[in-house]
Structure 1
Amino acid sequence: MDFELTDEQRGLVDSTRSLLTAKAPIERTRKLAETEHRFDAELWGYGAELGWPALAIAESDGGLGQQIIDLTLVAVELGRALASTPFIPVVVAADVLSHSNHERKSELLQSICAGTLIATWAFAEFGQPWSVAGVQTRAEPAGGGYELTGSKVSVQDGDIAQFVVVDAVLDNAPARFLVPTDIAGIHTRRQQTLDVTRGYFEVDFDHASVDASALLARGDSAQIGRTLQLITVLTCAELVGIGQRLLDMTTDYVKNRVQFGRPVGSFQAVKHKCADMRMWVQASTAATYYAAMALDAEHHDTERLVSVAKAYVSGAVNRVAGQALQLHGGIGFTWEHDLHLYLRRARVGSMLYGDVRHHRERLCQILQSGVRDSRP
């Protein structure tokens, strides 16, 4: 598998990193963490000019017609900078809309490309698994439209989104709706999470009425599965960026921290820990890129590859964060140091869309299924 970036992809990475370096220093993220929305509107505007939300949207709908691997490259850089943007939920919602026949599809996608429309995905429910089987929100026909009842959790940027893609059960089958967030019957509450740099919300639907046109798909669990795979890959990419930044922070620190008359990075035990961190980051990068490319190619083994990536990356980046904390010593535990901000997002990202245990169990199920299918 060739992971070498094309010239176009290298340009995308370089321009994204340059923008984030200039407009999204970590000090800005700290300040935004103290605001109500934890959303960098200025940075999102610059990102839209650079084409972030338009990357994977078809050219006929105002986008750039690129692939999921390109979204992955941007997500890595956003994780590296710990940027406060709605990139992941917006591009996931755009992907859902692109695969629908919604009457306002082109109009909404063009607004997403311009950065003027923010959408998110409401999938997870309290105490339910990260799968289609975990969808318990109900949709009932009512007055020529539908009425939604239920509660979703871990909805990223639910407070700033104008639309939310909602997965529900309609006539005992999965269905998904594009719901405006300003209608009656929708209540949003911020969740208290370990990650203080990003907003996650619980969204309640109390007999919320939507038009018949809000229905995007019904009876298609495979489409929901694809969306879950996409957001899982992009979360892995963000974790990779976090791992890269923690590795850089740590190696810079141990090169300059002097103890016993020499840099602590010159001690063999410290070198070994840094080497382990680099190995984990490189392996996480490869697993994530491979899963993204499989999703682009619609490979028959995509589900397994996505679970391999999430199971590995979730564990590896948390190990990187732990080693970084240890090698920084006492200063790494302080609020004033930036390390804990990366550690917090890494911890949350590793739990979202299935933790290590969830994806290992899923891999076992896939393996067992393959064994049964191969029997004569």
Structure 2
Amino acid sequence: MNLALSDEQAMVRDMVRRFLADRYDATTMAKGPMPLDDWRALGELGLFALLMPEQAGGLGGGAAEVMIVSEEMGRALAISPLAESILLCGRAIIGSPAAERWCERLLQGDALLAFARGGECADGKLSGSAAIVRDGMDADAFVVETAAGGLFLVDAMDSAVRRRPVRLVDGSMAAQVHFDAAEAVALTLSATQWDEAQALAGLSIVAELVGAMATLLDLTVDYVGQRRQFGKPIASFQVVQHRCARMYTWLEQSRSMLLKAALVEEEERVRTVTAAKAYVGDAALKLAEEAVQLHGGMGVTDELAVGRGLRRVLLLSRLHGGGSVAREALAA
């Protein structure tokens, strides 16, 4: 297993890092969703095309590229729809009649797809509700997994679709969506293809968590080196050193799980991503909580990036059932 980045992968990492560094710092990261203009700019840079298969008009990037891009997003605590709009919904529509209409716009950052669970479809009409749909208020269309397990695409502009805003813990907006016999296009991907799409989206979430962990650790180490008590930096106290060392251990163990999930053979990816989700979500949450504790009372406020980072990690660690659902899947 080669853990070193190729020259091309290093260029992608550096490009994304520079792009995000120009827009986020400790005072702005995780303060709200990525502006649509920045999302479109990433599309124009070819980032979304890199992560999509060639049959969708993309460049055929794989799990390693997903890891690289998503970890940089996590480092900046950028709140974006990358995992679900591009990697999950984007792959779900490949090969369907909807692909021609949506793929090009999706790759350019001009369209946003959101993933919803719920409802029933009969005779091409979708009815029912989806409780919490991330980015549902801004979505141009929904990829819906019904209670029976079918996958359908629904245009968000359909008059039979109603949306009500819901604010999530990290400040982003979701939606409660109700479908009242909305026109639904059946998606044709196989169960294996759907599992692979979910695995890549899960890998993206794990990578975001690892990136966020790295930033929260860096902010904490910097803070305890400056904060003085009893005439000396609190970083000189053994108990603080031990807590920082534990945070570092959680980060490195999580990074190892991420690397394994990204670099294994395709047939092993679903299980290794599930294993990474089972560990990393909980480890990231513990690290974020420790970062807040070491910052003291102001750590929970909106003024500091660690407080906002904790809320971002809290959301990411619970997506699609989080670690508990992943552990159940591994035990099945």
Q: Same fold (TM over 0.5)?
A: yes
Instruction: Tell me whether 1:281 sits opposite 2:251 in the alignment.
Output: yes
Deviation at 1:245, TM superposition (A): 0.7
Question: Contact 2:30 / 2:79 at 8 angstroms: preserved in 1?
Answer: no
Residues 115-134 of structure 1 mapped to structure 2, 5 A cutoff: 115-123=109-117, 125=118
Deviation at 1:157, TM superposition (A): 0.9
| AA aligned opposite 2:53 | A
Larger Cα-atom Rg:
1
Question: Contact 1:155 / 1:202 at 8 angstroms: preserved in 2?
Answer: yes
Deviation at 1:240, TM superposition (A): 0.9
- 1:164 is paired with a residue of what secondary structure? strand
Superimposed CA distance per residue, residues 332-362 of structure 1 (whole angstroms, 9 cap, x where no aligned partner): 1333222111101111111111222222222
Partner in structure 2 of residue 151 of structure 1: 129
Deviation at 1:71, TM superposition (A): 1.7
Q: Aligned equivalents of 2:74 and 2:246: distance in 1? A: 20
Residues 97-112 of structure 1 mapped to structure 2, 5 A cutoff: 97-98=93-94, 101-112=95-106
Could you tell me which of 196, 202, 212 is aligned with 1:242? 212
Deviation at 1:77, TM superposition (A): 1.2
Q: Aligned equivalents of 1:30 and 1:243: distance in 2? A: 13
Partner in structure 2 of residue 46 of structure 1: 41
| AA aligned opposite 1:43 | D
Instruction: Tell me whether 1:298 sits opposite 2:280 in the alignment.
Output: no
Question: Contact 1:184 / 1:209 at 8 angstroms: preserved in 2?
Answer: no
Instruction: Tell me whether 1:347 sits opposite 2:314 in the alignment.
Output: yes
Question: Contact 1:43 / 1:85 at 8 angstroms: preserved in 2?
Answer: no
Structure 2: 5+ residue stretches without partners: none
| AA aligned opposite 1:103 | P
Q: Aligned equivalents of 1:16 and 1:147: distance in 2? A: 41
Could you tell me which of 270, 277, 293 is aligned with 1:326? 293
C-alpha spacing 1:233/1:343, structure 2 compared with 1 (3 Å): same
- 2:93 is paired with a residue of what secondary structure? helix
Instruction: Tell me whether 1:83 sits opposite 2:96 in the alignment.
Output: no
Partner in structure 2 of residue 204 of structure 1: 178
Residues 23-62 of structure 1 mapped to structure 2, 5 A cutoff: 23-25=23-25, 27-28=27-28, 33=32, 38-59=33-54, 61-62=56-57
Deviation at 1:64, TM superposition (A): 2.1
Q: Aligned equivalents of 2:192 and 2:174: distance in 1? A: 26
Residues 11-30 of structure 1 mapped to structure 2, 5 A cutoff: 11-25=11-25, 27-28=27-28
C-alpha spacing 1:47/1:313, structure 2 compared with 1 (3 Å): same
Q: Aligned equivalents of 1:104 and 1:334: distance in 2? A: 44
Partner in structure 1 of residue 108 of structure 2: 114
Could you tell me which of 140, 145, 148 is aligned with 2:122? 140
Cα RMSD of the aligned pairs, angstroms, is: 2.1
Partner in structure 2 of residue 130 of structure 1: none
Partner in structure 2 of residue 364 of structure 1: 331
Deviation at 1:22, TM superposition (A): 0.4
Could you tell me which of 153, 161, 165 is aligned with 1:178? 153
Higher RCO (CA-CA < 8 Å; seq separation 6+): 2
Q: Aligned equivalents of 1:302 and 1:46: distance in 2? A: 30
Question: Contact 2:161 / 2:178 at 8 angstroms: preserved in 1?
Answer: yes
Q: Aligned equivalents of 2:110 and 2:167: distance in 1? A: 27
Superimposed CA distance per residue, residues 235-286 of structure 1 (whole angstroms, 9 cap, x where no aligned partner): 1111111111100100111111122222111222211111111111111122
Q: With structure 1 as the length reference, what TM-score do the two structures score?
A: 0.82
Q: Aligned equivalents of 2:284 and 2:18: distance in 1? A: 24
C-alpha spacing 1:253/1:162, structure 2 compared with 1 (3 Å): same
Q: With structure 2 as the length reference, what TM-score do the two structures score?
A: 0.92
C-alpha spacing 1:282/1:103, structure 2 compared with 1 (3 Å): same
- 1:238 is paired with a residue of what secondary structure? helix
| AA aligned opposite 1:201 | A
Q: Aligned equivalents of 2:29 and 2:298: distance in 1? A: 20
